């Protein structure tokens, strides 16, 4: 007898699939260029996106995403680097806005801002203990910080933000 399409597997069946776990870090940085500056002054060339030339003045919005595998200790990881723009007053990516804790927004509606959204995680079947998770969290963090400083933002950005 066939089960309905929306039926969920019973406890016995679920055991076959196992359990996947995820440990990760996500960092969001907001770029608000000063007068006379461009967001491009704050980013490495690989995150500049297309030229503004083919777009109507002031209408070009950027979304760049790079994804790749990393080594996090003895565990393979995934790093996602995103750069996205909006002028709707959002300080956070759309998927985080609804669940964000209360905070004082810095972006204003009508102001073009650039978000640097970096996500680094490991996932799989593992039975982590606190020491193991802490070690992986430090490794994830170190990879993100290196990517941020060496491959995402410009030296000018680092100097401005000191």
Residue 155 has pLDDT above 80, yes or no: yes
In a domain, 10, yes or no: no
Checking if the pLDDT of 17 tops 70, the result is: no
**Is 58 inside any structural domain?**
yes
Of 135, 123, 136, 143, the C-alpha closest to 21 is: 123
pTM of the model: 0.83
pLDDT computed for residue 98 by the predictor: 85
Report the domain count for the chain. Answer: 1
Predicted pLDDT of residue 8: 47
Q: Tens of pLDDT along 26-74?
A: 999 999 999 999 999 999 999 999 999 999 999 999 999 999 999 998 8
Establish if 9 belongs to a structural domain. no
Tell me, yes or no, whether 44 lies in a domain: yes
d(CA 36, CA 38): 7
pLDDT-above-70 percentage for the chain? 88
In a domain, 14, yes or no: no
Domain residues for the domain of 134 are: 19-161
Residue 74, in any domain of the structure: yes
User: Is residue 104 a part of any domain in this protein?
Assistant: yes
Q: How far apart are CA 20 and CA 115, in angstroms?
A: 30
Q: Report yes or no on 34 lying in a domain.
A: yes
**Average of per-residue pLDDT values in the chain:** 89
């Amino acid at each position: 007898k066939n089960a309905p399409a929306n039926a969920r597997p019973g406890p016995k069946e679920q055991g076959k699939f196992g359990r996947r776990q995820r440990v990760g870090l996500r960092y969001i940085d907001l770029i608000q260029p000063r007068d006379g500056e461009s967001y491009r002054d704050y980013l490495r060339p690989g995150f500049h996106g297309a030229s503004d030339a083919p777009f109507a003045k002031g209408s070009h919005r950027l979304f760049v995403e790079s994804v790749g595998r990393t080594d996090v200790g003895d565990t393979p990881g995934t790093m996602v680097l995103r750069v996205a723009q909006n002028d709707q007053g959002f300080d956070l990516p759309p998927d985080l806005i609804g669940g964000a804790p209360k905070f004082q927004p810095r972006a204003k509606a009508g102001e073009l801002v650039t978000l640097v959204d970096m996500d680094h995680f490991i996932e799989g079947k593992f039975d982590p203990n606190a020491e193991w998770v802490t070690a992986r969290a430090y490794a994830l963090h170190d990879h993100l910080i290196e990517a941020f400083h060496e491959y995402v933002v410009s030296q000018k950005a680092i100097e401005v933000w000191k």
